[in-house]
Amino acid sequence: MKTIDELIQDGVEGKRVFVRADLNVPLDGTTITDDGRIRAVVPTVKALAEAGAKVIVASHLGRPKGAPDPKFSLAPAATRLGELLGKNVSFATDTVGDSAKATVAALANGEVTLLENLRFNAGETSKDDAERGAFADALAGLADLYVGDGFGAVHRKHASVFDLPARLPHAAGYLIATEVGVLKKLTDQVRRPYAVVLGGAKVSDKLGVIDHLLEKADRILIGGGMAYTFLKAKGYEVGISLLQEDQIPAVQGYLRRAEERGVEFVLPVDVLVAAEFPDLKTKAPAHPETVAADAIPADQEGLDIGPETRKLYASKLADAATVFWNGPMGVFEHPDYAEGTKAVAQALLDSPAFTVVGGGDSAAAVRQLGFDENPGRGFDHISTGGGASLEYLEGKTLPGLAALED
């Protein structure tokens, strides 16, 4: 795929460049609580603006139902992007309507605008090719060139991700180029031992990647809510912990395959439990109890890995040459259940391995827990796309990446 540097070398001065970013940031009302995804697109936008392009940034936020919804407005993102760029970023209050057309028409060379949430138009996410194509045609009318830089959305066959690049000369932005380069080190250019840490709530979200990693990884460490389905599959009592009963046969199959292939599957040996889920608003003390993983009381819920598991997991990561981590080890948003996630993050930092944090909640956790996210001082890479990263590791073709290939 063509790079943004090649695009700039060909000349972008005075041209309208549509940058498909991923500004799907968490909001508390109109306050951005984690601006990581906005910061990730800054290098691409800055390079284009400095080269004299008229930069049109577009993104989705949340899951509006194909119509304007004020709580999903990208207006706060426009303000923050302007702060990070050190220049004004104008904001169009629609996607392809009068505001968008007027705002784009008013751009001078080197200026930047942000369109309103792409998902306010039903054509963005439509499964009907004609409807999606019509929206892509309207977006194409705003621009001369296309740069794909929203890695968190490349696994979606959406108008601005998949259809629009076919209508304009296109290139990959810096973020996408970096993400793909990193993911190749987790698939085609792996240094071993290769350890994978998987957490998060649901086993079903990780089935595809577990299946694929059984052919790639040397050891797989499991934590988070999904761990209790694995423990149940081994015949353990898991109390009122998060459980996907329907996934137990699949999990048992994975455990058998891992043993047959010599892949080490590592499960918690102890967990923190409580009778009820913690209050994440007040952060009131939860007073958890530590129990063995095979001795969870019937009326208790597992909410984090325990101290012995933290030590075990650190030891399993210490000699790794490559580590991929996706998903927290517990309810990290509450201080009483953050130690497991914190321990895994620290183990990655202490390891000499090439370390990748796979987006989503894991990325939010490392920021919330105060870890340095800058390459060279922290983790080697923090992905901006949890779902996209997982699907890439599953070996799937990602529509947004395929669309950027010539």
Query: Residue 63 annotated as binding?
Result: yes
The strands making up 145-148's β-sheet, listed across from edge to edge, are 89-91, 112-114, 54-58, 16-20, 145-148, 170-172
Active site residue 71: no
Q: What is the DSSP string of 245-299?
A: GGGHHHHHHHHHHHHHHTPEEE--SEEEEESS---TTT------EEEETT---TT
Q: Annotation-wise, does 83 bind a ligand?
A: no
81 marked ligand binding residue: no
- Known binding residue 22? Answer is yes
User: Does residue 202 carry a catalytic annotation?
Assistant: yes
Kindly report the backbone phi and psi dihedral angles of residue 302, in degrees, each rounded to the nearest multiple of 5, phi listed first.
-75, 130
From the candidates 150, 200, 239, 387, which is the catalytic residue? 387
Q: Pick the catalytic residue: 46, 80, 202, 396?
A: 202
Task: Give dist(CA 160, CA 58) in Å, integer.
Answer: 8
Residue 360 labelled as part of a binding site? yes
**Is 333 annotated as contributing to ligand binding?**
yes
Known binding residue 231? Answer is no
310 catalytically annotated: no
> Is 359 labelled a binding residue?
yes
Q: Do 183 and 207 meet the contact criterion of CB atoms below 8 Å apart? A: no
Query: Could you write out the DSSP letters of every residue in 96-123?
Result: SSHHHHHHHHTPPTT-EEE-S-GGGSTT
Does residue 377 have a known ligand-binding role? no
Q: Are 91 and 84 in contact (CB under 8 A)?
A: no
**Is 334 flagged in the annotation as binding?**
no
Tokens read off for 317: 């990561």
Q: Is 223 an annotated catalytic residue? A: no
Tell me whether residue 156 is annotated as binding: yes
Q: Which of 327, 360, 386, 400 is catalytic?
A: 360
Which of 20, 37, 219, 232 is labelled catalytic? 37
Radius of gyration of the chain (CA): 22
Which positions are catalytic? 37, 202, 360, 387
Positions at the binding site: 22-24, 37, 60-63, 119, 156, 206, 302, 333, 359-362
Positions at the binding site for ATP: 206, 302, 333, 359-362
